[in-house]
């Protein structure tokens, strides 16, 4: 390791992580003290904030569709020259993150690659095979990366169990056996080519991905009147992406970065249900595209680092939805909608290195957009926001760092919330809401990071004052009153987060590492239906996970156990309160490396074998004004499952 906590960049060489026997860059990044991997949100329109907090060779992956975890898994540990932990003021586009990890790969001339095969088997009869491979060729400044995968993902929070209904006093209203196994069949191909160009470096990348979601639903009602019902859900999603990235130095102190990106997503879905009471069908189809142009200029002048840029984006969505009951079309509000958004964002950031221990970063973003909606409802809307940000970083000692952050953040409107949708399994209709506004908040955050040998502990306290909270509201139409996503006024949120990475070598337990995180969250907003104060919908009150790993270098073996604390998510709809409980979960693995090229891994997941429970309290009308119709309790369990992975690297 080079540099201390007060420097903008701390470098970790491969020897720092060697005792943990990492297989991929993902394993290495998870061991960086004080760092927590945060995926970007590919659903965000535009590039800012969508790329996550990891760089590869000093650049964010251009693709928005490819997750950071997948990118890092494809990089063999043996090809990593070092990991750089980057703080503000180091000349990188932080995009709102206080820390970045930069994975620096070896660029010696070579041909290298990886092939991986995985198989998992589930108790309910489904399996999840996977075959993936990567190829990398480096020749001078020319780098070609190719990868592809074909696999099946099974949703282990769905499976088989029961779905029963009870009166408010607990009397059974309907009892039945229920099954809803779900999964995705996926094929994807990715590629990128990097080359020297006009004194800089250019990279072109492309992606094609086809995902076919399936769910097979079966229900056997045994009380009060026996009958059988069934259903299917099928959703095909086809995604394409092509990007261009260019950067070069301008003089001794400046650098420019240019980016262009084009994404398309086509979705076609059909849900069917068959029951003695009748047959229902819902259909949805949409075509979405996103085009982004972005330019950034960075400059270092003494102890000041400057960054400025501009980004423009064009987003288009054509969406259609339909509901059919016994062959009769049922009208839905805002079922056929076209939305077009033109966005622009200008940003500027300055970081002052006042001393080796103190850095102040200040900046602001200005965002403006114009939304146009046509089809079943018409809308023209212009939005603009200023988003200032102030970050102070102080390292009173080589082992400690204190970070204080104050900023304004503005959410993005989800185009899907403008369009109506229907769920046959839930028996619900969600109306589109053209009057939706983005939420905005002022965030205050204080974090303390403490280094303990090769480990670290980070404690963060956060307060958010939110305007125009996005939650659920009633929408009144000629056809009736519908639940919809909408704004419900002001709210607040407090969070306390605890992250730790603790190697136990100093205690005489060589190779043993304990890692984990915990988040306590408390939020409050006024319910638009009842007028009472409550939690913001879908805010989890507690999130926590812990992993224990043991690396036994002399046996070329690594094993571990992971624990995830139970989660409870509550959604407050206008005529229903839905609570999803995911129980405590334990997973385990053992990994063996007979030599540097081969990795054999066996895993067992969901060892707690606890059902995922959804409880729905449904009212006869608006909550607070109407009595409960019934309480529905659905329990689904996929059971424990086991699998293995075989990986072979070559070249390099």
Tell me the pLDDT tens digit for each residue of 226-280: 999 999 999 999 999 999 999 999 988 899 999 999 999 999 999 999 999 889 9
Q: Which is more confident, 426 or 582? A: 582
pLDDT at 147: 95
CA–CA distance, 321 with 68 (Å, rounded to integer): 32
Query: Residue 62 has what pLDDT?
Result: 65
Q: Phi/psi at 54 (nearest 5 deg)? A: -125, 135
Is the pLDDT score of 432 beyond 90? no
Question: Residue 203 pairs with which residues in a beta bridge?
Answer: 194, 245
For residue 157, which of 580, 439, 644 has the smallest C-alpha distance? 580
Q: Which has more pLDDT, 163 or 433?
A: 163
Q: What is the rounded CA–CA span in Å between residue 16 and residue 32?
A: 9
What's the mean pLDDT in 81-105?
83
- From CA 135, how far away is CA 362, in angstroms rounded? 42
Count of positions (residues) in the chain: 652
| Domain formed by 1-106, architecture | Beta Complex (2.170)
**pLDDT > 90: percent of the chain:** 69
Over residues 540-552, the mean pLDDT reads 96
pLDDT digits (tens, 9 = 90+) for 305-360: 899 999 999 999 999 989 898 888 888 777 888 999 999 999 999 999 898 899 99
CA distance linking residue 111 with residue 649, whole number of Å: 11
Cα torsion 246, 251, 253, 256 to 10°: value is -20
pLDDT band at 9 (very low <50, low <70, confident <90, very high): confident
Residue range 531-552: mean pLDDT, rounded: 96
Q: What is the pLDDT of residue 2?
A: 46
Q: pLDDT tens for residues 579-616? A: 999 999 999 999 999 998 999 999 999 999 989 999 99
The pLDDT of 431-457, averaged and rounded, is 91
Q: Which of 492, 569, 575 is nearest to 528 (CA)?
A: 575
| Four-point Cα dihedral 158, 161, 165, 171, nearest 10 | -140
Closest by CA position to 443, among listed 521, 390, 394, 392: 390
Query: Which tokens sit at 414?
Result: 């989800």
pLDDT at 131: 98
| pLDDT tens digits, 13-27 | 988 888 888 888 889
- Judge whether residue 538 has pLDDT over 80: yes
Is it true that the peptide bond before 224 is cis, omega within 30 degrees of 0? yes
Give me the pLDDT at residue 5, please: 40
Among the ranges given (83-92, 389-398, 547-556, 592-601), the one the predictor scored with the smallest mean pLDDT: 83-92
Distance CA 482, CA 11 (A): 55
| Distant-in-sequence, close-in-space partners of 229: CB < 8 Å, separation ≥ 6 | 218, 219, 221, 273, 274, 275, 276
| Amino acid 36: pLDDT | 86
Task: Give the model confidence (pLDDT) of 507-527 as tens digits.
Answer: 889 999 999 999 999 999 999
570 near 616, Cβ under 8 Å? no
**For residue 79, which phi and psi values (nearest 5 degrees)?**
-95, 0
Distances (CA, A) of 422 to 100, 283, 323, 431: 41, 9, 7, 9
Name every residue whose Cβ is closer than 8 Å to that of residue 170 and which is 6 or more positions away in sequence.
none
Burial of 365 (0-12, 13-18, 19+ CB in 10 A): buried
pLDDT in tens, 547-571: 999 999 899 999 999 999 999 999 9
Q: Is the Cβ–Cβ distance between 212 and 188 less than 8 Å? A: no
Half-sphere exposure of 472 (CA within 13 A, CB side): 24
- Predicted confidence band at 61 (pLDDT cuts at 50, 70, 90)? confident
Average pLDDT over residues 279-284: 92
Q: Which residues, 6+ apart, have CB-to-CB distance to 441 below 8 Å?
A: 408, 409, 410, 464, 465, 466, 467, 493
Q: Is the dihedral of CA 88, 89, 95, 100 positive or negative?
A: negative
Domain boundaries, the chain: 1-106, 296-438
The DSSP code sequence of 27-67 is: HHHTTSTT-------TTSSSSTTTS-SEEETTB--S-SSS-
Positive/negative CA dihedral, 89, 94, 100, 103: negative
Count of alpha carbons within 13 Å of 542, Cβ hemisphere only? 11
* Residue listed under structure tokens 């926590």: 544
Helix (H) or strand (E) holding 72: helix 68-73
Residue range 75-82: mean pLDDT, rounded: 88
The mean pLDDT of the chain is 91
Q: Within 10 Å of residue 569's Cβ, how many Cβ atoms?
A: 16
Highest mean pLDDT: which range of 302-311, 325-334, 374-383, 470-479: 302-311
Task: List, in sequence order, every residue forming a beta bridge with 72; answer none if it has no partner.
Answer: none
CB atoms within 10 A of CB 139: 12
What pLDDT is attached to residue 651? 85
Q: Among 565, 612, 559, which residue's Cα sits nearest to residue 585?
A: 565
Pairing of strands 470-477, 428-431: unpaired
> What's residue 37's pLDDT?
86
Specify the pLDDT at position 180. Answer: 94
- Tens of pLDDT, residues 110-119: 899 999 999 9
Residue 3: band (very low, low, confident or very high) from pLDDT cuts 50, 70, 90: very low
Q: Is the pLDDT of residue 221 over 70?
A: yes
Taking the alpha carbons at both ends of the chain, their separation in whole angstroms is: 24
């Amino acid at each position: 390791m080079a540099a201390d906590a007060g420097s903008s960049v701390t470098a970790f060489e491969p020897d720092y992580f060697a005792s943990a026997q990492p297989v991929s860059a993902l394993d290495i990044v998870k061991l960086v003290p004080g760092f927590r991997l945060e995926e970007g949100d590919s659903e965000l329109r535009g590039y800012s904030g969508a790329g996550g907090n990891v760089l590869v060779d000093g650049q964010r992956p251009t693709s928005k569709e490819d997750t950071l975890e997948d990118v890092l898994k494809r990089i063999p540990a043996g090809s990593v020259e070092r990991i750089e932990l980057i703080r503000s003021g180091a000349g990188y586009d932080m995009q709102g993150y206080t820390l970045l990890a930069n994975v620096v790969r070896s660029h010696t001339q070579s041909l290298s690659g990886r092939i991986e095969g995985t198989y998992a088997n589930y108790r309910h009869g489904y399996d999840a095979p996977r075959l993936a491979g990567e190829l990398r060729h480096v020749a001078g400044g020319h780098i070609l990366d190719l990868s592809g995968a074909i696999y099946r993902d099974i949703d282990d929070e769905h499976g088989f169990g029961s779905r029963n209904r009870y009166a408010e006093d607990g009397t059974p209203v309907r009892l039945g056996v229920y099954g809803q196994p779900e999964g995705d069949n996926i094929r994807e191909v990715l590629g990128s080519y990097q080359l020297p160009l006009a004194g800089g470096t250019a990279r072109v990348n492309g992606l094609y991905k086809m995902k076919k979601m399936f769910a097979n639903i079966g229900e056997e009602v045994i009380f009060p009147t026996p009958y059988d019902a069934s259903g299917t859900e099928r959703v095909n999603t086809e995604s394409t992406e092509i990007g261009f990235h260019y950067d070069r130095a301008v003089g001794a102190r400046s650098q420019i970065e240019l980016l262009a990106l084009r994404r398309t997503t086509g979705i076609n879905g059909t849900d069917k249900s068959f029951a003695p009471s009748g047959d229902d069908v819902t259909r949805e189809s949409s075509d979405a595209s996103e085009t982004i142009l972005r330019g950034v200029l960075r400059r270092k002048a003494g102890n000041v680092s400057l960054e400025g840029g501009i980004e423009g984006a064009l987003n288009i969505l054509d969406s259609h939805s339909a509901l059919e009951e016994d062959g009769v079309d049922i009208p839905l509000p805002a079922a056929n909608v076209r939305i077009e958004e033109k966005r622009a964002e200008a940003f500027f950031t300055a970081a002052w290195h006042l001393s080796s221990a103190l850095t102040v970063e200040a900046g602001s973003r200005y965002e403006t957009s114009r939304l146009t909606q046509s089809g079943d409802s018409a809308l023209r809307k212009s939005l603009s926001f200023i988003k200032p940000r102030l970050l102070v970083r102080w390292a009173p000692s080589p082992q400690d760092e204190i970070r204080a952050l104050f900023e304004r953040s503005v959410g993005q409107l989800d185009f899907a919330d403008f369009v109506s949708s229907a769920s046959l399994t839930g028996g619900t209709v969600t109306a589109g809401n053209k009057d939706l506004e983005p939420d905005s908040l002022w965030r205050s955050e204080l974090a303390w990071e403490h280094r303990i040998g090769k480990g670290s502990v980070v404690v963060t306290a956060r307060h958010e004052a939110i305007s125009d909270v996005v939650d659920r509201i009633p929408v009144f139409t000629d056809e009736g009153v519908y639940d919809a996503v909408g704004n419900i006024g002001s709210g607040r949120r407090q969070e306390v987060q605890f992250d730790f990475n603790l190697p136990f070598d100093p205690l005489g337990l060589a190779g043993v590492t304990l890692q984990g995180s915990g988040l306590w969250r408390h939020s409050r907003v006024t319910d638009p239906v009842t007028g009472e104060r409550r939690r913001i919908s879908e805010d989890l009150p507690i999130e926590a996970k812990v992993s224990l790993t043991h690396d036994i270098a002399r046996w070329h073996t690594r094993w571990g156990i992971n624990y995830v604390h139970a989660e409870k998510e509550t959604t407050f709809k206008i005529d229903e309160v839905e609570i999803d409980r995911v129980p405590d979960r334990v997973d385990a693995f053992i990994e063996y490396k007979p030599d540097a090229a081969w990795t054999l891994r066996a895993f067992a997941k969901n060892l707690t074998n606890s059902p995922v429970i959804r409880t729905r309290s449904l009212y006869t009308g608006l909550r607070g004004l109407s009595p409960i119709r019934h309480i529905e309790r659905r329990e689904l369990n996929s059971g424990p499952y086991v699998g293995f992975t075989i990986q072979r690297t070559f070249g390099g």
